[in-house]
């Protein structure tokens, strides 16, 4: 069996797919979404295709090592995103070739179903916003019985903000807790927008409503700053969506900088690397909560690693069982869980009729368009 074709698709914003086809007609799907770098990743996949065409798709580890190590400059978000999507597609082919779900090839499942959390929050304290948030909460509970949600402070945050800004966010957080009760988990993503001092102050204000975790309280580049926050906060801190490979996570582990890690299967190195990162984290008693705020192929790939590692806690989910309209047999959420995939490979079929439209790219996170009141660049 040999690889004969590699194609790329951009059917939706924040959803870029790659398809690998073999000479016996098996097709494997992966996701190569990287916000802000669509053309760069597209070009990287084309370059890597020159190596993969004609190769045996089942030599997954060999191809991973070649792609990662063959260039003088290793890693980086463009290469790792391209590699991640191709790796997912190779695992999909392997599962289909052996007629088993990928999680069986990874050692078999250690759990019967996979816990997920949804994105939900109260945008502001106006009556209209609260009514919309309440409707959304009721819908998510009725739709999938979710018992865990993630929100965030939103907007731009400077090195310090006046009490009114902090108090407004804290009031929303406590209102969320009041609405869902004590048996539901609530988490908050700070998106790396705060300084350590600001993050510690805000976390102390949240202490009474007992968050499940706060994600990326500070930017990911400085592990000591992250550990400073963790050391001053009584509830779990999490990070990892912008970290790539075991080597990026090593310092996090060694310094015990967080309680939970959030590697992304479409950035950190695909299924191959996500499982290795999880195995490393287990040694430090850290649980994984894989990040996935993009499309359904990346989400499906994450589920197979979630199924096989003992230190899995919960999976991020932004698409409540619809597969973004791209899958013919999307997952279903029941009581806040998804049953293990049972189909061969990644366990889904892509509706290729939904791939006919090529999207015009627009900025997806908007970082370069956000400025503070003084005209300086702001994180978003």
Sign of the torsion angle spanned by Cα atoms 279, 214, 208, 233: positive
On the question of pLDDT at 248 being above 90, the answer is: yes
pLDDT number for residue 368: 56
Q: What is the mean pLDDT of residues 198-224?
A: 97
* Domain boundary, last residue among 57, 73, 100: 100
Tokens of 364: 């997806």
In-domain check, residue 366: no
In-domain check, residue 363: no
* Calpha distance 52→69 (Å, rounded): 15
* Calpha distance 362→351 (Å, rounded): 24
Provide the mean pLDDT of the chain: 94
H/E stretch holding 170 reads helix 163-180
Mark whether 53 and 86 lie in a shared domain. Answer: yes
Please, what is the Cα angle at 84 between 81 and 87, to 5 degrees? 150
Strand, coil or helix: 213? strand
Mark whether 121 and 48 lie in a shared domain. Answer: no
Beta strand pairing status for 15-22 and 27-31?
Answer: antiparallel
* Domain boundary, last residue among 40, 73, 100: 100
On the question of pLDDT at 362 being above 90, the answer is: no
pLDDT number for residue 344: 97
How many residues does the structure list for the chain? 380
Mark whether 91 and 214 lie in a shared domain. Answer: no
**Burial letters for 125-142: b for 16+ Cβ neighbours within 10 Å, e otherwise?**
eeeeebeebeebbeebbe
pLDDT number for residue 321: 65
pLDDT band, very low/low/confident/very high, at 22 (cuts 50, 70, 90): very high
Instruction: Write out pLDDT tens, residues 53-64.
Output: 999 999 999 999
In-domain check, residue 78: yes
On the question of pLDDT at 130 being above 90, the answer is: yes
In-domain check, residue 114: yes
Strand, coil or helix: 237? strand
Strand partners, 287: 260
What DSSP designation does 371 have?
B
pLDDT band, very low/low/confident/very high, at 358 (cuts 50, 70, 90): confident
CATH number at residue 30: 3.30.390.10
Q: Are 338 and 332 in contact (CB under 8 A)?
A: yes
Mark whether 178 and 132 lie in a shared domain. Answer: yes
pLDDT number for residue 240: 97
Please, what is the Cα angle at 321 between 320 and 325, to 5 degrees? 105
Q: What is the mean pLDDT of residues 35-41?
A: 87
In-domain check, residue 138: yes
CATH number at residue 257: 3.20.20.120
In-domain check, residue 358: no
pLDDT band, very low/low/confident/very high, at 320 (cuts 50, 70, 90): low
pLDDT number for residue 366: 57
pLDDT band, very low/low/confident/very high, at 257 (cuts 50, 70, 90): very high
Strand, coil or helix: 97? helix
Q: Which domain holds residue 166?
A: 104-344
Mark whether 91 and 113 lie in a shared domain. Answer: no
pLDDT number for residue 268: 97
Tokens of 331: 């997952």
Top pLDDT among 368 and 307 is at 307
Q: What is the mean pLDDT of residues 200-227?
A: 97
Q: What is the mean pLDDT of residues 290-319?
A: 96
pLDDT band, very low/low/confident/very high, at 137 (cuts 50, 70, 90): very high
Sign of the torsion angle spanned by Cα atoms 66, 72, 76, 81: negative
* Domain boundary, last residue among 76, 100, 124: 100
Strand, coil or helix: 69? helix
On the question of pLDDT at 188 being above 60, the answer is: yes
Mark whether 141 and 213 lie in a shared domain. Answer: yes
pLDDT band, very low/low/confident/very high, at 365 (cuts 50, 70, 90): low
Rg (CA), the chain: 21
- DSSP-derived secondary structure for 47-64: HHHHHHTTS-TT-HHHHH
Mark whether 250 and 183 lie in a shared domain. Answer: yes
Q: What is the mean pLDDT of residues 295-323?
A: 92
Write down the pTM of the prediction. Answer: 0.95
Q: Are 190 and 217 in contact (CB under 8 A)?
A: yes
Mark whether 23 and 142 lie in a shared domain. Answer: no
Instruction: Write out pLDDT tens, residues 74-117.
Output: 999 999 999 999 999 999 999 999 999 999 999 999 999 999 99
pLDDT number for residue 180: 98
pLDDT number for residue 370: 73
pLDDT number for residue 331: 87
Mark whether 221 and 269 lie in a shared domain. Answer: yes
- Report, in this order, helix, strand and coil percent for the chain, each rounded to 5: 40, 15, 40
CB atoms within 10 A of CB 52: 20
Tokens of 375: 């005209």
Mark whether 58 and 109 lie in a shared domain. Answer: no
Mark whether 81 and 157 lie in a shared domain. Answer: no
In-domain check, residue 359: no
Residue 368 has, within 13 A of its CA and on its CB side, a CA count of 6
Q: Are 295 and 264 in contact (CB under 8 A)?
A: no
pLDDT number for residue 38: 82
pLDDT band, very low/low/confident/very high, at 166 (cuts 50, 70, 90): very high
In-domain check, residue 128: yes
Active site residue ranges: 191, 291
Please, what is the Cα angle at 34 between 33 and 37, to 5 degrees? 125
H/E stretch holding 9 reads strand 3-12
Strand partners, 121: none
Strand, coil or helix: 32? coil
Q: What is the mean pLDDT of residues 305-311?
A: 98
Number of domains making up the chain: 2
Please write down the long-range contacts of 355-363, taking CB distance under 8 Å and 24 or more positions apart.
355/9, 355/11, 355/17, 355/326, 356/11, 357/11, 358/9, 358/10, 358/11, 359/10, 359/11, 359/12, 359/13, 361/10, 361/38, 361/39, 362/13, 363/36
Mark whether 258 and 165 lie in a shared domain. Answer: yes
pLDDT number for residue 286: 98
């Amino acid at each position: 069996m040999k690889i004969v074709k590699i194609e790329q698709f951009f059917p939706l914003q924040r959803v870029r797919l790659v398809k690998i086809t073999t000479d016996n007609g098996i097709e494997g799907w992966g996701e190569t979404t990287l916000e802000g770098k669509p053309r760069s990743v597209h070009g990287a996949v084309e370059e890597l295709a020159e190596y993969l065409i004609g190769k045996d798709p089942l030599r997954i580890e060999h191809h991973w090592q070649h792609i990662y190590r063959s260039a003088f400059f290793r890693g980086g978000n463009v290469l790792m995103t391209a590699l991640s999507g191709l790796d997912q597609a190779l695992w999909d082919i392997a599962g289909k070739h052996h007629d088993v779900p990928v999680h069986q090839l990874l050692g078999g499942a250690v759990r019967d179903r996979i816990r997920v959390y949804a994105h939900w929050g109260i945008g502001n304290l106006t009556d209209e916003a609260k009514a919309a948030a309440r409707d959304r909460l009721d819908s998510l509970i009725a739709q999938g019985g979710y018992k865990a949600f993630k929100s965030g402070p939103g907007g731009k945050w400077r090195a310090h903000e006046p009490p009114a800004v902090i108090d407004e966010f804290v009031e929303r957080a406590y209102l969320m807790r009041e609405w869902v009760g004590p048996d539901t988990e609530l988490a908050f993503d700070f998106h790396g927008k705060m300084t350590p001092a600001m993050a510690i102050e805000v976390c102390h204000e949240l202490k009474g409503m007992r968050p499940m975790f706060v994600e990326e309280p500070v930017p990911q580049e400085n592990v000591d700053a992250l550990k400073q926050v963790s050391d001053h906060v009584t509830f779990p801190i999490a990070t990892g969506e912008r970290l790539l490979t075991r080597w990026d996570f090593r310092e996090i582990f060694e310094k015990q900088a967080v309680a939970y890690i959030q590697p992304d299967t479409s950035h950190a190195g695909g299924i191959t690397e996500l499982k290795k990162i999880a195995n490393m984290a287990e040694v430090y008693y850290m649980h994984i909560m894989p990040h996935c705020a993009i499309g359904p192929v990346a989400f499906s790939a994450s589920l197979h690693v979630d199924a096989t590692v003992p230190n899995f806690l919960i999976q991020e989910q932004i698409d409540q069982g619809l597969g973004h309209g791209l899958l013919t047999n999307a997952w279903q959420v029941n009581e806040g869980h998804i049953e293990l995939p049972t189909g061969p490979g990644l366990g889904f079929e892509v509706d290729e009729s939904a791939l006919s439209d090529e999207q015009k790219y627009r900025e997806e996170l908007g970082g370069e368009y956000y400025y503070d009141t003084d005209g300086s660049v702001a994180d978003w």
